[in-house]
Structure formats: C-alpha cells, structure tokens
Chains A and B, each alone.
Chain A
Amino acid sequence: MLSNKEYVAVMQIHKPVDEGKLREVINEFVGRIYQKPPVRSSVKRALRIKEVYSIEILEVEYPYVLMRISCQHGTYVRKLIHDIGEVLGVGAHMRELRRVKTGPFKEDETLITLHQLSEALYMYRELNDDTLLRKAILPIEYAVSHLPKVAVLDGAVGALTHGADLAVPGISMFHEGIRKGDTVVVFTLKGELVAIGQAMMHSEQIIEASRGIAVKIKRVIMSRGTYPKYWKSRQR
C-alpha cells in the first residue's frame, strides 16, 4: 500500500554521545533524505529520495534511543537509523521496530490479533453471533478513508463501473482542497466505494464547471450490476 507510515523504533548507539548533539543530528534527518534499498529487498536498488515527516524522540537511555518516526511509504527505517549513527560518528543500529500506523490504520479498537479473529469466527460459526466478527472486519471503504473523496449521483455509478471517467454532471459533492493530479476516491451517496482515480480538476474548478472530466478513473472497485448501467430519468 502506498500510504504513509508511522513507526516506533529503538536505536542502539555504539558509543556515548552528547544528548544535545544526538537531538541535533536526528533533526537533520527530518525532511527529504536519500536512500538506497538494502541488498535484502524486493525493490530495484536505485538511489531514491524519501521524505521523513517527523522524528519524535520519546526516551533516551544510553545506549538506547526510543523514537517515533513518521515517513513516506518506502522509507527504510533501519537504513535511516544506520545513517544517523554514521553522522553521529559513533555508529548505530535498529534494535527494535514496530509499525504503528499504515495510512489510516493505527493501534486503536480496530486492531486485532489472529487469536481474536479466530475467536470472532468461532462465535459466528458455532454460536451464530456476528458481533465480534463485525468489529474485526471493516468495510473496505475504511482502507481509503484517508484520501480526498468525491460522491456521485446514482445515475453516474453504472457508467463508472463500466469504465467511464467521471464527468462533472455526475458529481453530487466533493472535498475542498482537491488539486489536479491528486488521487481521489469516488463514492456513492450511500458511502459505498466505487472507484479510485486521479483528479483532472481542482476543487475550485469542479465548483465552477458544468462539464468536463473531473476524475480519470484508474481502478474500479464496485462490481458491475450493483447500480444499473443506464439510468432512465424518472417520469414526473
């Protein structure tokens, strides 16, 4: 998933370092950084620019530094920590890592273990009680909840599921602040996920326009037939 991530990591530094210098150097790594994927990785090993949005130092107790790191997808935290060690001059390695956020998903009441999932299934299958299972499995719409949204009129849905792009007349409501080129998610007025696309207009343009393609559809999620392909206007 190409969404932003948040981690809590333990860095182990190899020799003592003045805490002021430690904080200063760690701060230097906030922003854009260069990274080359490690040997043991599934991506092409070309030099890439990644963005570290923030590093919060939670605790320092030599030789460990506990940090919360928010970064762009594809950032290697292990490499980041190694490089911090290099700049510090003493060397460092990542001792422990836990991802605490992936896109919209974080450690809240929706987070469950395999054990809990298994219990929820038992309750549903053996005891006919689906309450735990409904807490365990979220509607797919949650996966894209962090992206800007456009809600369409019923009459536009069928065409979208058959490959059409979204034209302005099909739009009912949409988020402010959409910029041309943004990835946006198309929903029905029932809140159902229809498709994911790329905005061809800014929000301000969508307000003004009466025609034109507003969103180029990249991936259709809703199955065809959920809404009719052709929409007959209602008779008065």
Chain B
Amino acid sequence: MGIADKGIEFLRKLDTFGDVKRRWIIKVESETDFNYGKLPYERNVDELLNYGIINLDKPPGPTSHEVVAWAKKLLNIEKAGHGGTLVPVHF
C-alpha cells in the first residue's frame, strides 16, 4: 500500500468516526512524499501530547477549568483547552 493509500484509508476512518457519509470525489490522483510529514497514527507520544485530543469523561463537581488544570499537570504540558462546560446542576 502506498502512503497516500494509507492516508486516504485514515481519512475514511475519520469519516466513520465523525459519522460522515459523503463520498469522495477525486480530481487529481497523486502520491505523497514520505520525506515530509507522517501518518497521524504514527506520531510518537510526544507529538501526540502536543497535537492530540482526549475525550474526557469529566467527573461532576469540579469545573471544566479545574479538570483541564489537572490534566495539564498530569500530562506535564503547558497548553490545553476544553470543548465546553456543563452548567452546574444542584440536587
């Protein structure tokens, strides 16, 4: 399998993950140079830590901000954000 084949296979995998049912239209068939970049799933842990996303099941109680702070500390990274917060619910 050429690298572009693997890359396109990964793009289809992304489509499945994102529940996208669109078909791909090919305008220009091409290979991709192995000298530049790499397949996303071949990134090493350091690269993933800089360039990754975690689907985190946040515990109720702490705010998203606090949870992100904990995650940053755990992972030893400087920059991290979160994709939204739930409104506090009181029982």
Contacts and interface: CB of A to CB of B under 8 A. Distances in A.
Interface of A: 1, 3, 5, 38, 40, 73, 76, 78, 94-97, 99, 102-105, 107, 110-114, 117-118, 121, 124, 130, 133-134, 136-149, 151, 153-154, 157, 168, 171-177, 187-193, 203, 206-207, 226-228
Main secondary structure of the interface of A (DSSP, over half): mixed
Contacts of B14: 141-142, 145, 149, 191
Contacts of B56: 111-114, 117
B1 interface: no
Contact of A94 (B40, B83, B89): B89
Contacts of A104: 17-19
Choose among B26, B29, B55 the residue with the greatest number of A CB atoms under 10 Å from its CB: B55
Given A102-B83, A145-B14, A191-B39, A176 B23 contact: yes
A172 B28 contact: yes
Contacts of B39: 190-192
Nearest to A110: B55
Those 7 A-B pairs whose CB atoms lie nearest each other, nearest first? A145-B18, A146-B18, A191-B10, A139-B40, A189-B32, A1-B83, A190-B7
B73 to A, nearest CB: 10
5 contacts: A1-B83, A110-B55, A114-B56, A188-B37, A190-B38
Contact of B37 (A141, A206, A226): A226
B51 A140 contact: yes
Contact of A191 (B8, B19, B29, B91): B8
A113 B59 contact: yes
A140 B23 contact: no
Given A114-B56, A137-B49, A172 B22 contact: no
B33 interface: yes
A176 B15 CA distance: 13
